[in-house]
Amino acid sequence: MEVLKVSAQSNPKSVAGALAAVFRQYGKAEVQAVGAGAVNQAVKAIAIARGFIAPNGIDLVMIPAFTEININGEERTAIKFIVEPR
C-alpha cells in the first residue's frame, strides 16, 4: 500500500484525490504528516475524500496513530492516519 505524505503546503483537494485513488485501488490508505500544519491539511484532505467516496456507498473512517520516521537521518515523530471503510 502506498503511503501518502502530507506537508503544511499540500493542497487538501489534491491530496483528497490521491487518497481516493489509493483507496479505490487497495481498499485502504495511509496518510503521514509531521507538524501541526501538515496534520491540519491531512485531516481536511480526508474529510474531502469522504465526499469523493461517499456516492459509492462507502463511509471512510480514519484511525490516528503515532509513528517514527527518518527525515535526513533524523528520527521524527509523525502522525499517521489509517483510512478504512466502515
Residue 73 near residue 49 (C-beta atoms within 8 A) = no
Helices 12-26, 36-53: axis angle to 10 degrees equals 60
Alpha-carbon gap, residue 36 to 44, rounded angstroms: 12
In the predicted structure, residue 5 carries a pLDDT above the cut 80: yes
Look at residue 66 in the predicted model and tell me its pLDDT.
97
pLDDT of residue 1: 73
CATH superfamily of 3-85: Alba-like domain (3.30.110.20)
Of all residues in the chain, what percent carry a pLDDT higher than 70? 100
pLDDT over threshold 90, residue 40: yes
